[in-house]
Structures are given as structure tokens and as C-alpha cells.
């Protein structure tokens, strides 16, 4: 069954991930040939800075003209590891037009334009694979869209950003504040010079959109994902979490509503019990917890970023796409038949941990409790502590909608006896 004409691969981008992809394609060429059923050949590498030395890559393959490379007409698979929206989007669309399949690690693009890209792939009987776009090396896209294809997924909850997990883990284990932990993450190379995409949850939100779309067979756009960063998490929040037997993680949560008729997707910091498998995910690791009707609770754990892990995911896709090509077939495309409505954040139901600074005088608790009751938010526990006329009140609620909680907090702020709302944090994973 082995054919000798090699499958030709165009590599777009040769940074941390691309150079690893090229290296493994060279060093493991025999294994890839055996696993694919045909040799696979690096036919060209598009880069921005052609003068940079790239060890192990034939300089004759290097070009700055990515468009010409994807338009060559003899390319079987385009591997896109440039990132960002443009020129990646145009290059991928062009690749399909010229008959190539595409392997991409581009979460931002997939989250924004996944539907259009899948349609373009379908129009040209090509594959679009992107395991590397979510949670790096962790096999997640393939298990969700293939292994669980006969099951009904109800929740996907994960730590999908290594930078923020590193920072939060550091705050948890050392008592450091946010800035101090961020500085360490930057110094160690876990955070970029401008960490906005990570710490404000944009990166995780893109991944949540992709995961929700696959899990619920429904198009979920980036705008559908509620997003809250983790820059305001404090050492005091970690102390509160610990008192509850919890830690704090930045979570991407995709949920089917209890009635099954709608879905939500969100990213925010949340307290989770120390006994939850996600609580023990350390450093820059990622992990995703999946709950489905038949399978029950599954978890997938591993390195969420880095050149080698991401390259592992890219190469797994490359092997699959090459096999499909040899078979004259394509793998599963977009599955959006369920077309469930995506509900706004107000309809999300969860528990809350609220810290209030209040006046230390009789009747305050009764006032506060009344506000919760008026908004239909049931209180689980209250802890009061105070001295010198100042006091703090920590309220943990039962499950309530985000809208009800928001209304409660607005009303609390208007009480004379409430000096301030020190923090509001969701409690997940119970």
C-alpha cells in the first residue's frame, strides 16, 4: 500500500512551533512515512525574516512569499502556525482554493471565523484540522468530536491558559499578589511582555468558543463568550478560598442548560474545591474536565503550550490529514446541526462567594439577608467578623442566576450599612 510520491507540506511560520514541526518532520521522517503510508516532504517554509539561521532547514526551502507558496498547486497540506487573523485567514482560504488541506494552531482565527473556514474546506473537499489550537499537546478536539461523537456532552470546564494558571498557582502557593506573580511569570518566559491576551481571558475565550462549538454541535462565536480576566484576583481572595477548602483558577466553562435547550460559554476566575481534579493542576499545565450523559466525568491533562507540545498536536493532525488524502476522503468537518441558542451570561446559574465591608452594628446582617431574599438568591452560609466599628461579611450563596446575583449586588451597594463590595467570585465544580 506504500506509495513513493511524497505528500508535500508547506509550513507557514517558523517560530517556536514551526521550527519544532520542521525538526520533527526531518528527524522522524521514517516514522511519519510508516504511519502515513507515504513519505511526507517539507516543500517550503514561509517566514518573515529569511536571514535568520534556521538549524536543520534547507535554506532553499525558505521564502518570504507565503502566498506564492500556497498557490504552487502541488501542495498537499498547508500547516499554518503564524497565528493572528491576517494574513493567516487569506492564506488558509487560498490553500483550500488550490486544493490543499490545512492544519492550523490558530485559536484566534478559528474562534472568529471557524464556520467560514470549515465551509471553505468543505467546498474544496479538503480537511481543516486544529488540535493544537486548544490546550496545546492535549488531545482534546479529536476526543470531543470523534471519541464522544456518540455521547451527549453537558459540560466542558477547563484550565486552557497556562500563563494564568502559572500566575494563580504561584499566588496560591506563595501568598504573592497578582503583580508579583505576573512579574515572575514574565521573567521565566511564561508571560509575554504584553500579557493582556492571557490575563484578560481573551485567549481562553477563543478556546471556549471552539470547545463549545464542538461539544454542543452549535456555532458559538467569540462574542457569545462571556469574559472576565483575572487581574483583580487578590491574595485575600486566595485566603477566602482556602477557608472554604477551595483554590482559585481561571476557568473556561461551556455548559448545556439544565433543560438542554440552550448553551452558555464563559471565562472567569472561580473558586473550586481542592478535591476537584482541576484544583491540583499546577504551573503552566492545562486540563479540561468533560461531563457527558454516558461517559460521565472525563479529564484530559497536559502541557497547554510550548513549541514541542504544540508541534506534537500539529503533527498528529498532519498524519491524519495525509492519511485522509491517501484515502481520497476527508475527516469530520464542522458539526453545527444542533444550532442551539447561546444564552447570555445573565442566565448562567452557579454559586457565589461575596465579601462585603459593612458597618459593625446590629441589624446589618438582617438588612443584607433581606436584599438577597428579595432577589431570590438563597444564602448557604454567612461568616461575620469585625472590630472597631468595621466588619466584614462573607456570604456564600446557593445556585442562582447571574442576573439575580447582579441585581442583589447592585441593591447591596445602595445600603448605607454596606461600605463596599470587596469581591465577588463564582464557585464551581461542586
Taking CB under 8 A as the rule, which mask of x and - marks residues 95-134 in contact with its own copies?
A: ------------------------------------x---
Asked about 207 being catalytic, the answer comes back as: yes
34 touches its own copies (CB under 8 A): yes
Least CB distance from residue 317 to its own copies, whole Å?
Answer: 8
Cβ count within 10 A of residue 283: 13
Contact status: 262 vs its own copies (CB under 8 A): no
Q: Which of 308, 384, 401, 406 binds its own copies (CB under 8 A)?
A: 308
Q: Which is nearer to its own copies, 68 or 329 (CB)?
A: 329
Angle at alpha carbon of residue 277, lines to 272 and 280, rounded to 5°:
80
Between the two ends of the chain, the Cα-to-Cα distance in Å is 52
Q: Per CB under 8 A, does 217 bind its own copies?
A: yes
170 or 276, CB closer to its own copies? 276
Q: Which of 295, 293, 300, 241 is nearest to 272 (CA)?
A: 241
Q: Report d(CA 304, CA 287) in Å as an integer.
A: 8
Site string for its own copies, 313-352 (x = CB under 8 A): xxxxxxxx--xx--xxxx-x--x-xx--------------
Find the shortest distance in angstroms from Cβ 43 to its own copies. Answer: 17
Residues 6+ apart with CB under 8 A from 29: 39, 40
| DSSP character at residue 342 | B
| Smallest gap from residue 68 Cβ to its own copies (A) | 27
Question: Residue 129 and residue 103: Cα distance in Å, rounded?
Answer: 5
Q: Smaller CB distance to its own copies: residue 189 or 420?
A: 189
Q: Would you count residue 81 as binding its own copies (CB under 8 A)?
A: no
Task: Supply the minimum distance, in Å, between the C-beta of residue 393 and its own copies.
Answer: 35
Check: CB of residue 303 under 8 Å from CB of residue 310.
no
Residue span 221-260 as binding mask against its own copies, x where in contact by CB under 8 A, dash where not: ----------------------------------------
DSSP, collapsed to helix, strand or coil, labels residue 129 as strand
Rule CB under 8 A: choose which of 3, 26, 31, 72 binds its own copies.
Answer: 31
Show contacts with its own copies in window 128-187 (CB under 8 A): 131, 137-139, 142-143, 146-152
User: Rounded distance, CA 217 to CA 345, Å?
Assistant: 20
Catalytic residue among 8, 107, 170, 207: 207
Least distance (Å) from its own copies to the CB of residue 34?
4
415 CB contacts (<8 Å, ≥6 apart)?
A: 367, 368, 371
Nearest one of 196, 168, 197 to 180, comparing CA atoms: 168
- Given a contact cutoff of 8 angstroms between Cβ atoms, the answer to whether 67 and 94 are in contact is yes
Helices (H), 217-355: 235-243, 307-327
Collapse the DSSP code of 98 into the 3-class scheme (helix H, G, I; strand E, B; otherwise coil) and give the result. Answer: coil
- The catalytic site residues sit at 207
Residues found near its own copies in the complex (CB under 8 A): 20, 24, 28, 31-32, 34-35, 131, 137-139, 142-143, 146-152, 217, 277, 280, 292-303, 306, 308-309, 311-320, 323-324, 327-330, 332, 335, 337-338
Amino acid at each position: 500500500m506504500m506509495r513513493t510520491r511524497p505528500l508535500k507540506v508547506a509550513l507557514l511560520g517558523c517560530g517556536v512551533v514551526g521550527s519544532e514541526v520542521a525538526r520533527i518532520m526531518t528527524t522522524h521522517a521514517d516514522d511519519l512515512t510508516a504511519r502515513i503510508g507515504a513519505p511526507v516532504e517539507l516543500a517550503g517554509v514561509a517566514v518573515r525574516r529569511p536571514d535568520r539561521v534556521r538549524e536543520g532547514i534547507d535554506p532553499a526551502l525558505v521564502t518570504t512569499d507565503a502566498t506564492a507558496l500556497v498557490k504552487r498547486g502541488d501542495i498537499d497540506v498547508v500547516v499554518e502556525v503564524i497565528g493572528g487573523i491576517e494574513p493567516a485567514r487569506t492564506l488558509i482560504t487560498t490553500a483550500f482554493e488550490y486544493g490543499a488541506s490545512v492544519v492550523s494552531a490558530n485559536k484566534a482565527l478559528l474562534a472568529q471565523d471557524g464556520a467560514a473556514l470549515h465551509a471553505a474546506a468543505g467546498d474544496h473537499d479538503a480537511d481543516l484540522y486544529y488540535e493544537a489550537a486548544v490546550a496545546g499537546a492535549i488531545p482534546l478536539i479529536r476526543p470531543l468530536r470523534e471519541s464522544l461523537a456518540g455521547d451527549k456532552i453537558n459540560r466542558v470546564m477547563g484550565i486552557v491558559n497556562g500563563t494564568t494558571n502559572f500566575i494563580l498557582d504561584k499566588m496560591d502557593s506563595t501568598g504573592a499578589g497578582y503583580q508579583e506573580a505576573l512579574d515572575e511569570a514574565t521573567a521565566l518566559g511564561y508571560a509575554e511582555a504584553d500579557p493582556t491576551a492571557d490575563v484578560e481571558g481573551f485567549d481562553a475565550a477563543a478556546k471556549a468558543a471552539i470547545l463549545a462549538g464542538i461539544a454542543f454541535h452549535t456555532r458559538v462565536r467569540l462574542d457569545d463568550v462571556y469574559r472576565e480576566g483575572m487581574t483583580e484576583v487578590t491574595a485575600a481572595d486566595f485566603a477566602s478560598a482556602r477557608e472554604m477548602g477551595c483554590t482559585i483558577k481561571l476557568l473556561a466553562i461551556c455548559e448545556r442548560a439544565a433543560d438542554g435547550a440552550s448553551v452558555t460559554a464563559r471565562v472567569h476566575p472561580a473558586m473550586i474545591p481542592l478535591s476537584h481534579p482541576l484544583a491540583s493542576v499546577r504551573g503552566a499545565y492545562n486540563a479540561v474536565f468533560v461531563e457527558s450523559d454516558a461517559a460521565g466525568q472525563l479529564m484530559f491533562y497536559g502541557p497547554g503550550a510550548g513549541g514541542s507540545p504544540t508541534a506534537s498536536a500539529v503533527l498528529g493532525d498532519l498524519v491524519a490529514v495525509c492519511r485522509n488524502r491517501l484515502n481520497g476522503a476527508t475527516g469530520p468537518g464542522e458539526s453545527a446541526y444542533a444550532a442551539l441558542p447561546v444564552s447570555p451570561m445573565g442566565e448562567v446559574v452557579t454559586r457565589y462567594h461575596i465579601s462585603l465591608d459593612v458597618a459593625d452594628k446590629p441589624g446589618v446582617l438582617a438588612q443584607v439577608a433581606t436584599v438577597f431574599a428579595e432577589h431570590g438568591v438563597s444564602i448557604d452560609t454567612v461568616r461575620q467578623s469585625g472590630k472597631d466599628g468595621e466588619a466584614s461579611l462573607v456570604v456564600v450563596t446557593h445556585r442562582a442566576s447571574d442576573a439575580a446575583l447582579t441585581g442583589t449586588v447592585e441593591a447591596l451597594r445602595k445600603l448605607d450599612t454596606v461600605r463596599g463590595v470587596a469581591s465577588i467570585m463564582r464557585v464551581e465544580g461542586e
